[in-house]
Structure 1
Amino acid sequence: MMTVRQPVLLGQTMGGKVPPTAVVIFGASGDLTHRKILPAFYHLKKNGHLPEGMAFVGFARREQSEQQFREVLRQSLADFSHTQPIDNAVWAALEPHIYYQKGDLSNPDDYQGLAERLRSLPEANLFGQNHLFYLATAPNFFSVVAENLGKAGLHAGPGVNGSRRLIVEKPFGTDLPSARCLNETLHQVFPERCIFRIDHYLGKENVQNLLYFRFGNSIFEPLWDRRYIDHVQITVAETQTIGSRGGYYDMAGASRDMLQNHLMQLFTLIAMEPPASLEAEAIRDEKVKVLRSVPTPSSEEVQRNSVRAQYGPGILGAKTVRPYREEDRVSRRSLTETYVCLRLEIDNWRWSGVPFYLRTGKALSRQYTEICIVFNRPPCVLFAHSLKHIARNWLKIRIQPSEGIHLLFNTKVPAQPLIEEARMDFYYRQRDHYFPEAYERLLLDALIGEPTLFTRSDEVEQAWRIIDAVQGAWREEELDRLPLYAPGSMGPVEAEELLRREGRRWGDSPCEEEESVRE
């Protein structure tokens, strides 16, 4: 008789049911609401995760009626839902519970109006004081909205007979001082347990799988240290240019826009120690320990171990790309990087001496996110007289697209005294599972108060400590321009050289760089 074991679960599935809740979206007329937030709630409703008594209130300055707001959202589902066609029965059940509240984010009186509206909604007798506030606004309004919620009595704390939670989008600050200031402001209105700093990368299925893969398999975890791993590569490659985001991007750059958050999240998950349990704080404690174990790099170390560059002119696909400095709302003398590569080390027992290479860039040849674990080369004495090269073993964890895990190993060529590379491949989508979008998973977790996949304040500050040191070292360089790379390439030659000088290569580089077994 076969025994079927119940799966071990992480995150929202560890909690209970979603309580009836009033969800208030600040910045409801913005792109994020229409592309991500509303489709996520639609799919949660379609899959039976939302109870009766839910209400959704859009808060924005735009003059429009409730019916107009609903019609625009319905069109957004048709445009952006990852499942088509739209289920009209699900929309018919969701639409009557969507409301619109015109308001100015900076006007405290409009928050009083919001509080009164929440109390008067037909669902109010069910959701009570359970409120989820989503800050889908520009970052400069995060503190403003939180303070005005407090003034209107919509804060979390003693005397509230229910749950009041706040979701904050990235970027969470622009440096360490601003992140600390924002944390202090939010904590005056919402305790840390009620603040959910959202990073959609943590909602991706294969990011969540990192903990299961590492700690649920006895064949890999014993190899997960300096004795067996030569180095680790983390890549977030994008084919898009900055598009219409020049005003924001020229102030942020790749290091603030991607490195400080997305790549640091992957870095901590791949390097963390086994947590004491799957409870949120146990996992988040270990992630923070990783960042604390990264020494603040000196200027000399940053200049030696980092590469920054901008995309130049060229052709990407069938599209002509103008150089970054000629993009709209970008300074013609800009030193903002559209590509960054950073070499980090972790000063602890497990990882001492193992470099981690983190890179991200715009206008690259491929769009993918991947972690490569590169193992040490085996002793080569058995093959030294018959083979010129022997490949390292690689373990590639693909986050997106085509989520999966790929193991590269060496095997003998039949009938010949030669070794060739072979692969074992696992793809999530080969299995008949529903794949929720990242925002679906994260919004569901926020509704039940499960913080595992959200970023804690000390983690944010530790990540900024590292990025601030990098930014400070770059400011000391007397440059009038950055190196350029061709659109449609995988970045500047300087990034290749950063690894090559240590006898390594990127996982998407040609294999000729493999060192000889005779050396």
Structure 2
Amino acid sequence: MQTDSSFTFVLFGGTGDLSMRKILPALYEAHRAGMLAASGKIVAVARHEEDRAGYLQWVNEHVKAHVAKSGIDENAWASFIDRIEYVKLDLGKAEDFVKLRDALQDQSGTRVFYLATGPSLFVPICHALASVGLNENARIVLEKPLGYDLRSSNAINDAVGEIFAEEQIYRIDHYLGKEPVQNLLALRFGNALFEPLWRREWVESIQITIAEELGVEARGDFYDNTGALRDMVQNHLLQLLSIVAMEPPHSMDSDSVRDEKLRVLRALKPIDPRDISKVAVRGQYHAGVIRGTSVPAYATEHGVKTDSATETFVALKVEIENWRWAGVPFFLRTGKRLADRVAEIVVNFRAVPHSALGASALRAGANRLVIRLQPNETIRLYCLAKKPGEGMNLSSVHLDLAFDQFFKEGQMEAYQRLLLDVINGRLALFVRRDEQEAAWKWVEPILNEWAASGKPKPYAAGTWGPAAASAMLAQHGTCWLEEEN
């Protein structure tokens, strides 16, 4: 389906890594699929001394490698390149924004300003746009991290909010655009089968994991001042938790969905600083081996302080204080240099109250739902079935929703979906300011306690993190999914 109307997509940080790896490949895929209005234009903005031809050569060299598995259609690529313009812009020069305004004068339709820059530039860019009248009939996309804590996040939101109305601001979290997350909503709210079970009476525990094999790569300076709690928990993990735990919205319009997510975030049980050691584990990777390759310790990575106390791993036990989820533990986990690259949600249902079929029917996790977000996107329902042969011997089997096998259409990448939503003015999959504030308020006691305490627990690269993360689950009679398997 084509976008509703003409647009101009202005990409600040147009030569940056995010633009090359995610944003321009996503726009190309939308273009190739016929989802962009023919009159839509892309204007890349950066400080590099390039003309349009030089920038397009840069795009050819750096974007094609990141296009999806289907590869490049050269005809589609040529017509996509025709959409792109380039404007050299120095944020410190007001006259450069006049030049940008002049470059956009002949463009019709909605203007989208995508800030693929560091958060320190968000406010200066917004003020400069307003100074030349470019904040009217416009939408602005803000990448994470939006601030360092609640105070700095509010400062950015206050400043941006003076220039753009809340309905113009799109705070992007790409995990919300992933196909399995969308299918989780469909599964819950489109089928009578799961809704009666989606509550404390039938759910034993829920795990949400985002694990990476990669280290900090070239982001050592950034990451050492951020850490896993700010980089992943405050946004991605809490957003996924709110999607899993939310009440059914009365419709799928933007505020109905976000109102329900907000209620979950506000219902998170506050963490008493005295209890943080019991419900929160932080770790930092040391040297180890991943898939046969030796990798260095975090403290020796480029840009990282040798005595750094920054966490590269976080595991949390979270509780939601409402009628649906009271008493059900949610275990959140994220880390770098772990044993595998995986993002998944695991819903462990309670065992049957009595079994005439033997002890296997009473074991925890006999019935579970696993929503895999990456690397392959699937939803798998585990249950028990009789093994062939004599006797009533039960074995775990699973039912798969493998999207690539069932649906002929190719799956839409998260950034592609979210960029189309921005262009078409759909806010449901973007984070509202009050959601962001609620998330920061909940994580701040942990941030403050860790800032005042000792170093993170060490774990070897290529493992699943500190042993304390497994011990935390063991106290509740459960384990992480990979430990059971």
TM surpasses 0.5 = yes
2:222 maps to 1:222: no
1:146 is the counterpart of 2:126: yes
Alpha-carbon distance in 2 for matches of 1:510, 1:41 = 41
Contact kept? 1:407, 1:423, Cα under 8 Å: yes
**Alignment-derived partner of residue 252 in structure 2:** 278
1:238 alignment counterpart: 212
User: Per-residue displacement from partner, 1:272-309 (whole Å, max 9, x unpaired)?
Assistant: 00001111110010000100011321102222101000
- Which of 380, 394, 400 matches 1:425? 400
Match in the other structure for 1:168: 142
Give the Cα–Cα distance (whole angstroms) in 2 for the partners of residues 27 and 114 of structure 1: 14
Secondary structure, aligned partner of 1:201: helix
Give the CA deviation at 1:227. Answer: 0.5
**Paired residue for 1:448?**
424
What secondary structure does 2:82 align onto?
helix
Residue pair 1:402, 1:428 contacting (<8 A) in 2 also: no
Amino acid at match of 1:108: A
Aligned to 2:444: 468
Whole-angstrom CA distance in 1 between matches of 2:360 and 2:139:
61
1:7: which partner in 2?
none
Q: How does 1:382-393 map to 2 (within 5 A)?
A: 382=356, 390-392=363-365, 393=367
Contact 1:391 1:410 in 2 (8 A): no
Does the C-alpha gap of structure 1 residues 391 and 200 become closer, same or farther in structure 2, counting only changes over 3 Å?
A: same
**CA-CA distance at 1:17 after TM superposition:** 3.8
Once the two structures are TM-superposed, the CA of residue 171 in structure 1 deviates from its matched residue by 0.7
Query: Where do residues 367-386 of structure 1 align in structure 2 (5 Å cutoff)?
Result: 367-380=341-354, 382=356
Shift of 1:381: 5.7
- Does the CA contact (< 8 Å) of 2:267 and 2:320 recur in 1? yes
Find the counterpart in structure 1 of residue 76 from structure 2. Answer: 90
Aligned partner of 2:415 in structure 1 is 439
User: 1:41-60 maps to which residues of 2 (within 5 A)?
Assistant: 41-60=27-46
- Which segment drifts farther, 386-395 or 442-451? 386-395
CA contact 1:27–1:33 (8 Å) conserved in 2: yes
SS of aligned partner of 2:481: coil
Q: Distance in 2 between matches of 1:387 and 1:194?
A: 54
Question: Distance in 1 between the 2:102 and 2:77 partners?
Answer: 26
SS of the residue aligned with 1:357?
Answer: strand
Cα distance in 1, alignment partners of residues 198 and 100 from structure 2: 51
Aligned twin of 1:487: 461
CA contact (8 A) 2:355 2:361 kept: no
Whether the aligned pair in 1 keeps the contact of 2:351 and 2:361 (CA below 8 Å) is no
Distance 1:388 1:167, change over 3 A: closer
SS in 1 for 2:247: coil
Q: Judging changes above 3 Å, is the alpha-carbon distance between structure 1 residues 282 and 411 closer, same or farther for their aligned structure 2 residues?
A: same
**Bigger mean CA offset, 90-99 vs 139-148:** 90-99
Look up the equivalent residue of 2:168 and give its one-letter code. C
Report the Cα distance in structure 2 between the residues aligned to 1:108 and 1:202, rounded to whole angstroms: 36
In structure 2, the partner of 1:255 is 229
> Which sections of structure 1, spanning at least 5 residues, go unmatched?
1-12, 157-162, 512-519
The residue aligned with 1:514 is none
Q: Is the 8 A contact 1:272 1:289 kept in 2?
A: yes
Task: Give the alignment's TM-score, normalised by structure 2.
Answer: 0.96
Of 100-109 and 75-84, more deviation after overlay is shown by 75-84
**What runs of 5+ residues in structure 2 fail to find an aligned partner?**
none
CA distance in 2, matches of 1:388, 1:131: 57
Q: In the alignment, residue 78 of structure 1 is paired with which amino acid?
A: K
Partner of 2:63: 77
**Paired residue secondary structure (1:509):** helix
**Residue 299 of structure 2: SS of its match in structure 1?**
helix
> Which residue in 2 is equivalent to 1:206?
180
Deviation of 1:53 after TM superposition, in Å, equals 2.0
1:184 aligns with 2:155: no
Q: Quick check: 229-238 or 16-25, which moved more?
A: 16-25
CA contact (8 A) 1:18 1:49 kept: no
1:359 aligned to 2:348? no
Alignment match, 1:517: none
Match of 2:15 in 1: 29
| Letter aligned with residue 363 of structure 2 | I
Matches of 1:510 and 1:452, distance apart in 2: 36
The separation in 2 between residues aligned to 1:242 and 1:416, in whole angstroms, is: 53
Q: What is the letter of the counterpart of residue 500 of structure 1?
A: A
CA distance in 1, matches of 2:111, 2:251: 29
Residue 459 (structure 1) aligned to one of 416, 423, 435? 435
Range that drifts further, 75-84 or 333-342? 75-84
Secondary structure of the 1:343 match is strand
Secondary structure of the residue that 1:143 maps to in structure 2? helix
Contact 1:406 1:423 in 2 (8 A): yes
Structure 2 equivalent of residue 312 of structure 1: 286
**Structure 1 residue 84, shift from structure 2 partner:** 4.6
Flag the 1:40–1:383 CA change in 2: closer, same or farther, 3 A.
Answer: closer
Q: Distance in 2 between matches of 1:253 and 1:465?
A: 17
Give 1:402 shift.
1.8
Name 2:135's counterpart in structure 1.
155
- The code of the aligned residue for 1:390 comes to R
Write the distance in 2 (CA, Å) between the matches of 1:411 and 1:49: 44
Partner SS for 2:372: strand
Equivalent residue number for residue 320 of structure 2? 346
Shift of 1:335: 1.1
Question: 1:117 and 2:77 equivalent?
Answer: no
1:349-373 CA-to-partner distances (Å, cap 9, x unmatched) read: 1001111000001111111111011
Q: 1:411 to 1:388 in 2, by over 3 A?
A: closer
